[in-house]
Amino acid sequence: MTLSSEVSAETASSCEHAGRAQVMAVVKADGYGHGATRAARAALAGGAAELGVATVAEALALRADGITAPVLAWLHPPGIDFGPALLADVEIAVSSERQLDELLDAARRTGRTATVTLKVDTGLNRNGVHPSQYPSMLAALGRAVAEEAIRPRGLMSHMVFADQPANPVNDLQAQRFSEMLAQAGAQGVRFEVAHLANSSATMSRRDLAFDLVRPGVAVYGLSPVPELGDMGLIPAMTVKCPVALVKSIRAGESVSYGHTWTAERDTNLALLPVGYADGVFRSLGGRLEVLINGKRRPGVGRICMDQFVVDLGPGRTDVAEGDEAILFGPGTGGEPTAQDWADLLGTIHYEVVTSPRGATTRTYREAQTIEP
């Protein structure tokens, strides 16, 4: 199975929506399944100024691949050694005094001043310093600054309802964030940049941009608010494979494990050499369609670990072994999209595009302009 993608054009679109704010392209989870390093390079070429990842390991992998742009990592288990990150000039976001203490330990051991972002919780109740602990955290930051162990660069938070642009919680979070920014200044802690907006807010709430925005899924051409349409974005990922086998069966014959599908008439079948071990969800058995030679073809029977079957219909078939089958893509050629899969699965397209694995190989293409 082959995955191909283009990212730079979609980053440029995010930059346009960001207005005066800088763009931090989020390339966590292996670039949302698109390949972190290639996605990072394309995003930077498209206008992103910085990169964001979840873990230190992800940041160090980018550095190992030659990415020199600013990188921020914000999710850390207890006991992590921040030393390698500081030596690689990775910016660290901390969400607790314990994390700050571990970062300070690394700064002292390496002799490197740590560039720090403080992540605060404005309502998501996930990662980030709780408001009740914020004064103590600011005091700890102040002491670390006095020690010259850290440089406080950013204040960040994450939104709850950004995919619902009119939800009043968005404004409440922005208000809390602004108040926490002012509170830091009053305690003598000055942040160079503040950032709250994710993809949804970047594309639909420019008033929440602050100094920097952090688009994630939009960088890959996926609408962060599907209810609002494609928002001018074109999905970067196409997943396809060759037809491995074409065969004919008689009416009354059944297909795959459990014989859950039986042919009502003589028909032709195509075998596709991908399955749930490669990211084709087993629950899509008998529900998904693929595009072969410009026509949608229904999947039939159960999806297996490494293969599934599609019905080509009766009579002489126009499909040959080796022909390309598109599982999902941007939809511009009539193929299903990641959002189509998400709708069938009752999930979000984030899960769909981060699922290809196993026998999947990646190829990359230059961004293309598709005329309306």
| Catalytic residue positions, numbered | 28, 257
Query: By C-alpha distance, which of 233, 228, 193 is closest to 216?
Result: 233
Query: By C-alpha distance, which of 61, 142, 150, 50 is closest to 110?
Result: 150
CB 225 within 8 A of CB 35: no
Long-range contacts formed by 77-85: CB under 8 A, 24+ apart: 78/102, 80/56, 81/106, 82/56, 82/106, 82/107, 82/114, 83/109, 83/110, 84/56, 84/60, 85/56, 85/59, 85/60
Distance, in Å, from the CA atom of 54 to the CA atom of 271, rounded to the nearest integer, reads 38
Q: Is 24 annotated as a binding residue?
A: no
Distance, in Å, from the CA atom of 59 to the CA atom of 69, rounded to the nearest integer, reads 11
Query: By C-alpha distance, which of 157, 137, 242 is closest to 198?
Result: 157
Distance, in Å, from the CA atom of 191 to the CA atom of 143, rounded to the nearest integer, reads 15
Distance, in Å, from the CA atom of 64 to the CA atom of 84, rounded to the nearest integer, reads 12
Query: By C-alpha distance, which of 69, 75, 55 is closest to 25?
Result: 69
Distance, in Å, from the CA atom of 193 to the CA atom of 117, rounded to the nearest integer, reads 9
CA–CA distances in Å: residue 147 to residues 97, 111, 114: 16, 12, 11
Q: Is 126 annotated as a binding residue?
A: yes
Distance, in Å, from the CA atom of 153 to the CA atom of 40, rounded to the nearest integer, reads 22
Bind-site residues? 126, 305
Bind-site residues for substrate? 126, 305
